[in-house]
């Protein structure tokens, strides 16, 4: 194999956001993730793809779901996985993100997974360390693996994403999941709608490549996919919306509101759910819900991402240093 | 002190509306003559003659808004290091903000700054004192005593006074001491969590926005109070077209109002933030290109009176962080003039007006000597090559902090020599 005949299929060293990816990059990752689903469904789940490689999960925000998903993905690929959670680290003693990163970098990991409350934290880290960096969520900026796992879930249930109508509902303002999904779904040719009270929409939303709706009845009309977003507790009590009951009345997904969507529309939620706030239990646990599939696809997508970023052939053909 | 004669210079002196080829005679620390006819009586005997080969002499710049880390944060900037940066930028006087630790809210601090500057700084340093004790927006400081001690203006620096009552009293009381109240306005709640201009770009970056109204609302309040009290009010750092319009209205009403803009808001916009570059986190935030263009227009039409560097040294400990966690501010003393010259080179602002807003107008506004090449004035001047191209490199900057917005920028125009009271404090 030579550089001339096999250019790198995925010319990125880090995964910091969906914005950096081409439609071909996205489809490539989804194809690889499809293969990873099969591995996870085998009796023998461990492979040796990343044997001898070191993965560090650096989580500044608590996240049982995403962190365990990355951990399991690494382990299934045969990597050595270390978890750094904020509670037990020197972060509490005032060490800056960069200093922590440099310390970890000196231990020569192959890949760093970072979750941080500040937008841009993953990009900052990527500038300072010598290994690959995966953004597992940075403030209200991006959460690329979530968007990829959502796309994989949709694609496996509905086929090609192009021309599907996807309604993203809820706290778009604070949501990195919404931003990554808007970018990815647009890249693959879907029609993207957002549905939210105006106080939970970011400035300039109408120029973000979406249709903006203020009622669930309009926003969900004929939708193929309904994506609910989590509403943080502290944002419900008067700050952005007056109360939980008012929010649920107008924007909580229940059977009545879901009727506006296609009969077989998929219902998704990135978790963790606030049952009775943004989604009714009967819907979350109902036949249209693919929330459990999303969790399964999460592991597969993260396996694919890490495998592709650490593919030794990339280095062999002189990918970006 | 020796007599120095600069010959063959383009002399730009807005205080007298002069832009002509001629000579400048500096004698005993003062300007003896400056202009086309300066050598009519012949050069004084024994004078040092400097041929300027057509380079430009301007009155030394007077920077109305400079943050220094002394006392309290000397690792960021001392009076000495700030003065070296100033001298290299052709700035011969600057007004120092009271945001130090402790804050300049007491005559002892004013005296400390003046004494330290006298002993260590090579340019003129004029402290501005706090409007309120400890900059906390509640109790007024001793305007009279502070003024006598040498404070040239009153400002709460980076802080906005939330209370309309405190602001009204400050404007009223300052009037009795003929003191200017300089104020930077940002609403305490609206945009309080914001870190950049509100809009599409901030939304994609996932950063919390600061709407233009956060600047405008307290500014409109202040302007109303300036009309009410007849106090002298200076809007220290405006950044939006709406603010400029408000200032223009207040001026038309006859209020004693002036306005300043930072060089950053004349030359940069929000897109310069790129991928979370914290050196471009400023307060007020960099706005849209429309607003930048409006600032240039307001400068040209006289709505804006002065241009400041808003030099604000920040170290890696406050800048090498995620964008939202980083401190606001950028250094600028050394690049103030060359960056401003972009406006001259691209035809936006005539040279005479540009030097006026950088030197003559701020000197007049804060009641400082300087800002002029009129005979008898202190010989504070800069010899400038308006055309020399150069590239900014942080390692070449004299400020103790390196948080410049112009790293790698291609600038045209360089200071060759700076003189303060007839003494050369910088020479390229």
B117 within some domain: yes
A94 lies within 8 A of chain B by CB = no
Q: Cβ-count burial of B71 within 10 angstroms (0-12 exposed, 13-18 middle, 19+ buried)?
A: middle
Work out the minimum CA distance from B425 to partner chain A, whole angstroms: 39
Indicate the residue of B202, B204, B322 with minimum beta-carbon distance to A118.
B322
B373 within some domain: no
What CA–CA distance (Å, rounded) separates B6 from A212?
67
Chain A CB contacts of B273 below 8 Å: none
Q: Do B205 and A123 touch (CB under 8 A)?
A: no
Q: Do A98 and B276 touch (CB under 8 A)?
A: no
Indicate the residue of A96, A141, A203 with minimum beta-carbon distance to B206.
A141
What CA–CA distance (Å, rounded) separates B216 from B241?
10
Q: What is the CA radius of gyration of chain B?
A: 21
Q: Cβ-count burial of A158 within 10 angstroms (0-12 exposed, 13-18 middle, 19+ buried)?
A: middle
Q: Domain check: are B53 and B147 in the same one?
A: no
B25 within some domain: yes
Mean pLDDT score, B294-303: 98
The count of structural domains within chain B is: 2
Indicate the residue of A98, A119, A124 with minimum beta-carbon distance to B206.
A119
**What's the per-residue H, E or C state across chain A?**
CCCCCCCCCCCCCCECCHHHCCHHHHHHHHHHHHHHHHHHCCCCCCCCCCCCCEEEEEECCCCHHHHHHHHHHHHHCCCEEEEEEHHHCHHHHCCCHHHHHHHHHHCCCCEEEEEECCCCHHHHHHHHCCCEEEEEEECCCECHHHHHHHHHHHHHHHCCCCCCEEEEECCCCCCHHHHHHHHHHHHCCCEEEEECCHHHCCCCHHHCCCEEECCHHHHHCCCCEEEECCCCHHHCCCCCCCCHHHHHHHHCECHHHHCCCCCCCEEECCCCCCECCCECHHHHCCCCECHHHHHHHHHHHHHHHHHHHCCHHHHHCCCCC
Mean pLDDT score, B388-393: 97
Q: Domain check: are B276 and B335 in the same one?
A: yes
Read off the pLDDT of residues B335-376 as tens digits, 9 standing for 90 and up. Answer: 999 999 999 999 999 999 999 999 999 999 999 999 999 999
Q: Domain check: are B99 and B179 in the same one?
A: yes
> Which residues of chain B from 272 to 291 reach within 8 Å of chain A, CB to CB?
275-276
Domain with B359, as residue range(s), is 60-365
Residue A4 is predicted with a pLDDT of 47
Q: Domain check: are B393 and B320 in the same one?
A: no
Q: Domain check: are B333 and B251 in the same one?
A: yes
Q: Following CA atoms A177, A179, A183, A189 in sequence, which dihedral angle do they give, to the nearest 10 degrees?
A: 70
Give, for B200, the enclosing helix (H) or strand (E): helix B200-205
Work out the minimum CA distance from A282 to partner chain B, whole angstroms: 33
Token pair 């950096």 is at which residue? Answer: A20
> Which residues of chain A from 219 to 248 reach within 8 Å of chain B, CB to CB?
none
Q: Do B209 and A141 touch (CB under 8 A)?
A: no
Residue of B nearest to A121 (CA): B322
A124 lies within 8 A of chain B by CB = yes
Cis amide prior to B87 (ω within 30 degrees): no
B199 lies within 8 A of chain A by CB = yes
Mean pLDDT score, B187-198: 92
What CA–CA distance (Å, rounded) separates B15 from B56?
16
Q: Domain check: are B148 and B48 in the same one?
A: no
Which tokens is A19 given? 């914005």
* 3-class DSSP assignment, residue B62: strand
What CA–CA distance (Å, rounded) separates B33 from B24?
6
Which tokens is B313 given? 């040294």
Residue B42 is predicted with a pLDDT of 85
Q: Chain A to chain B, count of Cβ pairs less than 8 Å apart?
A: 69
Residue of B nearest to A128 (CA): B320
What CA–CA distance (Å, rounded) separates A213 from B130?
49
Weakest-pLDDT range from A19-28, A310-319, B140-149, B266-275: A310-319
Chain B CB contacts of A101 below 8 Å: none
B198 within some domain: yes
B325 lies within 8 A of chain A by CB = yes
Q: Do A121 and B199 touch (CB under 8 A)?
A: no
- The DSSP line for B232-243 is -EEE----SHHH
B386 within some domain: yes
What CA–CA distance (Å, rounded) separates B238 from B364?
20
Backbone angles phi, psi at A299, to 5 degrees: -65, -45
Q: Where are the beta strands (DSSP E) in B195-265?
A: 196-197, 209-210, 233-235, 257-262
What CA–CA distance (Å, rounded) separates A200 from A216?
14
Q: Domain check: are B175 and B30 in the same one?
A: no
Mean pLDDT score, B194-203: 97
Read off the pLDDT of residues A54-93 as tens digits, 9 standing for 90 and up. Answer: 999 999 988 889 999 999 999 999 999 999 877 655 555 5
Work out the minimum CA distance from B324 to partner chain A, whole angstroms: 6
Q: Domain check: are B190 and B304 in the same one?
A: yes
Residue A318 is predicted with a pLDDT of 42
CB contact at 8 A, B188 and B162 = yes
Indicate the residue of A124, A176, A204 with minimum beta-carbon distance to B322.
A124
B193 lies within 8 A of chain A by CB = no
Which residues of chain A, if any, have pLDDT below 50? 1-5, 316-321
- Give the CATH number, domain containing residue B414: 2.30.40.10
Which tokens is B109 given? 């601090």
Q: Domain check: are B66 and B168 in the same one?
A: yes
Contacts of B70 (CB under 8 A, 6+ apart): B77, B78, B79, B100, B113, B116
Q: Do A203 and B321 touch (CB under 8 A)?
A: no
Residue A321 is predicted with a pLDDT of 40
B403 within some domain: no
Q: What is the ipTM of this complex?
A: 0.91
Q: Which of B189, B196, B206 to mutate to test the interface with A (most CBs of A within 10 A)?
A: B206
- Name the pLDDT band for B44 (thresholds 50, 70, 90): confident
Q: Cα–Cα distances in Å, from B69 out to B102, B103, B264, B329, B331?
A: 10, 11, 20, 13, 12
Q: Domain check: are B23 and B73 in the same one?
A: no
Chain A CB contacts of B204 below 8 Å: 19, 179, 208
Q: Domain check: are B79 and B191 in the same one?
A: yes
What's this model's pTM, rounded to 2 decimal places? 0.93
Read off the pLDDT of residues B210-259 as tens digits, 9 standing for 90 and up. Answer: 999 999 999 999 999 999 999 999 999 999 999 999 999 999 999 999 99
Indicate the residue of A98, A120, A142 with minimum beta-carbon distance to B320.
A98
B101 within some domain: yes
- Give the CATH number, domain containing residue B119: 3.20.20.140
Q: Domain check: are B318 and B256 in the same one?
A: yes
A115 lies within 8 A of chain B by CB = no
CB atoms closer than 10 angstroms to residue B253: 11
Residue A92 is predicted with a pLDDT of 57
Which tokens is B272 given? 């310069």
């Amino acid at each position: 194999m030579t550089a001339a005949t096999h250019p790198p299929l995925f010319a990125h060293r880090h995964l910091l956001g969906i914005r950096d990816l081409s439609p071909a990059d996205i489809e490539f990752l989804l194809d690889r993730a499809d293969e990873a689903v099969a591995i996870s469904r085998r009796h023998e789940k461990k492979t040796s793809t990343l044997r001898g490689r070191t993965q560090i999960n650096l989580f500044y925000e608590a996240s049982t779901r995403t962190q365990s998903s990355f951990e399991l993905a690494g382990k299934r690929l045969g990597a050595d996985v270390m978890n750094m959670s904020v509670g037990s680290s020197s972060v509490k003693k005032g060490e800056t993100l960069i200093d922590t990163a440099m310390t970890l970098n000196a231990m020569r990991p192959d890949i760093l997974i970072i979750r941080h409350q500040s937008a841009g934290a993953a990009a900052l880290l990527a500038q300072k360390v010598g290994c690959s960096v995966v953004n597992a969520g940075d403030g209200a900026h991006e959460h690329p693996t979530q968007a990829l796992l959502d796309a994989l879930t949709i694609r496996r249930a509905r086929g090609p994403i192009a021309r599907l109508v996807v309604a993203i509902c809820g706290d778009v303002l604070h949501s990195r999941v919404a931003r990554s999904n808007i970018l990815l779904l647009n890249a693959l040719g879907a029609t993207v709608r957002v549905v939210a009270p105006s106080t939970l929409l970011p400035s300039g939303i109408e120029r973000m490549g979406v249709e903006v709706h203020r009622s669930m009845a309009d926003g969900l009309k004929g939708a193929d996919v309904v994506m609910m977003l989590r509403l943080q507790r502290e944002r419900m009590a008067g700050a952005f919306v007056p109360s939980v009951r008012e929010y649920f009345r107008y924007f909580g997904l229940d059977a009545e509101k879901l009727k506006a969507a296609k009969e077989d529309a998929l219902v998704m939620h990135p978790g963790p759910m606030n049952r009775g706030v943004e989604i009714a239990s009967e819907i979350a646990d109902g036949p249209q819900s693919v929330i459990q599939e999303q969790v399964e696809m999460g592991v597969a997508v993260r396996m694919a991402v890490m495998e592709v970023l650490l593919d030794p052939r990339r280095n062999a053909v002189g990918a970006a240093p | 002190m020796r007599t120095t004669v600069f010959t063959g210079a383009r002399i730009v002196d807005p205080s007298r509306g002069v832009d002509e080829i001629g000579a400048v005679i500096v004698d005993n620390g003062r300007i003896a003559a400056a202009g086309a006819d300066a050598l009519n009586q012949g050069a004084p005997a024994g004078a040092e003659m400097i041929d300027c080969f057509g380079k430009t002499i301007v009155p030394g710049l007077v920077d109305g808004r400079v943050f220094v880390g002394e006392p309290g944060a000397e690792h960021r900037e001392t009076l000495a290091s700030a003065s070296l940066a100033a001298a290299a930028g052709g700035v011969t006087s600057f007004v120092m903000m009271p945001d130090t630790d402790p804050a300049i809210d007491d005559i002892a601090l004013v005296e400390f700054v003046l004494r330290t500057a006298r002993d260590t700084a090579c340019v003129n340093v004029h402290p501005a004192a706090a409007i309120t004790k400890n900059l906390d927006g509640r109790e007024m400081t001793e305007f009279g005593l502070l003024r006598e001690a040498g404070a040239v203006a009153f400002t709460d620096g980076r802080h906005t006074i939330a209370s309309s009552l405190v602001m009204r009293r400050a404007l009223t009381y300052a009037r009795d001491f003929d003191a200017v109240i300089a104020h930077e306005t940002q609403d305490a709640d609206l945009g309080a969590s914001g870190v950049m201009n509100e809009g599409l770009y901030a939304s994609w970056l996932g950063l919390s926005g600061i709407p233009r109204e956060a600047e405008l609302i307290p500014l409109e309040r202040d302007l109303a109070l300036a009309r009410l009290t007849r106090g002298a009010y200076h809007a220290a750092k405006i950044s939006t077209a709406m603010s400029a319009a408000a200032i223009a209205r207040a001026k038309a009403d006859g209020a004693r109002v002036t306005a300043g803009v930072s060089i950053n808001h004349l030359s940069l916009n929000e897109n310069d933030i790129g991928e979370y570059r914290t050196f471009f986190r400023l307060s007020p935030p960099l706005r849209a290109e429309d607003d930048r263009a409006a600032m240039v227009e307001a400068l040209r039409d006289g709505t804006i009176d002065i241009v400041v560097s808003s030099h604000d040294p920040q170290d890696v400990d406050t800048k090498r962080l995620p964008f939202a966690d980083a401190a606001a501010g950028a250094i600028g003393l050394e690049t103030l003039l060359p960056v401003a010259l972009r406006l001259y080179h691209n035809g936006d602002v005539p040279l005479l007006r540009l030097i006026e807003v950088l030197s003559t107008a701020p000197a007049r506004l804060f009641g400082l000597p300087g800002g002029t090449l009129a005979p008898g004035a202190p010989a504070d001047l800069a010899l400038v090559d308006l055309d020399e191209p150069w590239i900014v490199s942080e390692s070449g900057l004299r400020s103790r902090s390196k948080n410049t917005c112009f790293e790698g920028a291609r600038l045209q125009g360089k200071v060759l020599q700076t003189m303060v009271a007839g003494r050369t404090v910088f020479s390229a």
